[in-house]
Amino acid sequence: MRLLFIVIVLLFFIPSSFADSGPMTVRDSVKASRDYPMDCSPVVRTIHLPEYVPSLKRPRFSEHFSSFQGGVMVLCQSLLASDASPAPVVMTREIAALYRKHGFNRAVQRNLDSFSRFKRSFGRKLMRSGRYVDVMSDIIMEEGLPRELVYLPIIESAFKTDAFSHKQASGPWQLMPATAKKLGLTVNWWIDERRDPIKSTKAAAKYLKYLFQKFDSWNLTLAAYNAGESRIRNAVRKVGSEDFWDLRKSRFIARETKNYVPSYIAATAIAMAPEAFGIENIAYHSPLEYDEVVIDSPMSLDVIAKLTGVADRVIKDLNPELRRWCTPPDVSEYTLRIPAGTTGIFTAGLEQTRVAELMNLKFYEVKSGDTVAKIAKRIGAPVQKIIHMNGLGRKAMIFAGKSIVVPHDGNFRL
């Protein structure tokens, strides 16, 4: 209780000490008290802003508190905890603009605290972002959208191209199948373009632009991206307000959507200046680099890997939209990504490879008494793979004398 009393007293008197001594750091103002359980690093940068966030009230535990002196804002994050040190906050112009656009309140602060507490987990998300942020940013800005939207996949998928939700959303932008198809993406048994970081970003940017044109509010746009346009429109009508923070207080939007916007704001702020929040030494993945070649015949991924001199997983990683062991056989041509600088050896190797060798497949003539299950057991391949490869449907009916396609060389991945 004595410690709590000291903290409360200090929180009330710190602003006045700033006024007497001019701009200074929180560390300077409290260093004389050894009993105060807070180690706030000094503010590294101050900026001139006439107003920051009007919604900030008298500070409480785990909230930012600020002091204005001649238009200069000094901001420090405090966290009253015996086992954890608060992450220092740097107020950059970029983060200030983010807060002005979206707002700042306790919901955002709670997410800041949560993300900062689990530094290793958030750091891994930022590591993966390094591979895609540059190319995604270019696409987003080409659509005339704010660059910071590139960080939306942090809360959608943690920048995992193979992320898949229980609601059937997929890819880094977690697009639903119906939405993806409306946006021009292909989703079928062979490929899922929602997983492609470039194609899905173009689709997501187009969708976000459409939503913003409808709502004229980035908070409502993000809420609609999460919950759906009609749900947010209905909530706006029932609440009688176009302010997301008013909608958030109502019962007309889901809990997930209520936390979606503040979560995005917090994640984006940290991504803009991770070191300021205590997330340091991030080993960002190298930016995505590749060559593109157009092939007019389906190819197995292991054949592509051999022709380019890399492992199968490298080809799969460059072409995350591919759901199977080969490029789609039902298209006349396919644009394939291969490692940067390998176009020459790939083309040369392709010219020396027979068409029959491009696919790890062979034809099997069905005999009397054969079933798909018997054939699968005989060649050691999954039943479902043979069914899908031949489009046999649920009944999987085959007839003697007919030929079906079966895999070989142990390439039985689904």
* pLDDT, mean of residues 156-180: 97
Tokens of 158: 């943690």
Q: Which residues contact 71 (CB under 8 A, 6 or more apart)?
A: 48, 49, 50
What pLDDT score does 68 carry? Answer: 34
Model confidence over 383-413: pLDDT tens digits?
887 887 777 877 788 889 888 878 765 544 4
Q: Which residues contact 131 (CB under 8 A, 6 or more apart)?
A: 159, 197, 284, 285, 286, 287, 288
pLDDT-based confidence at residue 329 (cuts at 50, 70, 90): confident
The DSSP bridge pattern shows strands 334-338 and 361-365 to be unpaired
Q: First CA to last CA across the chain, in angstroms? A: 62
**Look-up of token digits 């509010």:** 217
DSSP 85-145: PPPP----HHHHHHHHHH---HHHHHHHHHHHHTHHHHHHHHHHHTTTHHHHHHHHHHTT-
* pLDDT, mean of residues 44-49: 37
Domains annotated on the chain, with CATH: 2-91 (no CATH), 120-277 (1.10.530.10), 291-357 (no CATH), 361-407 (3.10.350.10)
pLDDT-based confidence at residue 381 (cuts at 50, 70, 90): confident
Residue predicted with more confidence, 244 or 38: 244
What pLDDT score does 168 carry? Answer: 95
Model confidence over 275-316: pLDDT tens digits?
999 999 999 999 999 999 999 988 999 899 999 999 999 999
Report whether pLDDT(149) > 90: yes
* pLDDT, mean of residues 355-368: 79
CB atoms under 10 Å from CB of 313, counted, come to 10
Tokens of 225: 């991206």
Helix or strand run (H / E) with residue 75: strand 72-77
**Look-up of token digits 């205590």:** 278
What pLDDT score does 148 carry? Answer: 97
Instruction: Record the pTM.
Output: 0.72
Q: What are all long-range contacts of 362-368, with beta carbons under 8 Å and residues at least 24 apart? A: 362/405, 362/406, 362/407, 362/408, 363/403, 363/404, 363/405, 363/406, 364/403, 364/404, 364/405, 364/406, 365/401, 365/402, 365/403, 366/398, 366/399, 366/400, 366/401, 366/402, 366/403, 366/404, 367/400, 368/400
Q: How large a percentage of the chain has pLDDT more than 90?
A: 59
What pLDDT score does 24 carry? Answer: 35
What pLDDT score does 53 carry? Answer: 41
Instruction: Report how far residue 395's alpha carbon sits from residue 406's, in angstroms, rounded to the nearest whole number.
Output: 18
Q: Determine the longest span between alpha carbons in the chain, in angstroms.
A: 97
**Helix axes 343-351 and 301-308, enclosed angle (nearest 10):** 120
**Helix axes 255-272 and 106-117, enclosed angle (nearest 10):** 60
Model confidence over 200-258: pLDDT tens digits?
999 999 999 999 999 999 999 999 999 999 999 999 999 999 999 999 999 999 999 99
Task: Give how far the C-alpha of residue 328 lies from the chain's centroid of Cα atoms, to the nearest Å.
Answer: 26
pLDDT-based confidence at residue 356 (cuts at 50, 70, 90): low
* pLDDT, mean of residues 33-47: 34
Q: Is 233 exposed, middle or buried (0-12, 13-18, 19+ CB in 10 A)?
A: middle
Comparing C-alpha atoms, which of 309, 321, 306, 301 is closest to residue 361?
Answer: 301
- The answer to whether residues 144 and 209 touch, using CB atoms and an 8 Å cutoff, is yes
* pLDDT, mean of residues 101-111: 94
**Helix axes 372-379 and 383-390, enclosed angle (nearest 10):** 120
Beta strands in 220-370 (DSSP E): 291-295, 334-338, 361-365
Comparing C-alpha atoms, which of 288, 287, 281, 286 is closest to residue 123?
Answer: 281
How distant, in Å, are the alpha carbons of 25, 55, 323 from that of 92? 16, 19, 42
Q: How large a percentage of the chain has pLDDT more than 70?
A: 76
Comparing C-alpha atoms, which of 190, 155, 146, 153 is closest to residue 171?
Answer: 153
| 337 beta partners | 292
- The answer to whether residues 282 and 276 touch, using CB atoms and an 8 Å cutoff, is no
Report whether pLDDT(34) > 80: no
pLDDT-based confidence at residue 318 (cuts at 50, 70, 90): very high
Kindly tell me the sign of the dihedral angle through the C-alpha atoms of 109, 114, 115, 118. positive
- The answer to whether residues 228 and 167 touch, using CB atoms and an 8 Å cutoff, is no
What pLDDT score does 325 carry? Answer: 83
9-23, 97-111, 322-336: least confidently modelled range: 9-23
Give the chain's count of helices (H) and strands (E).
18, 7
- What one-letter code names the amino acid at 172? P
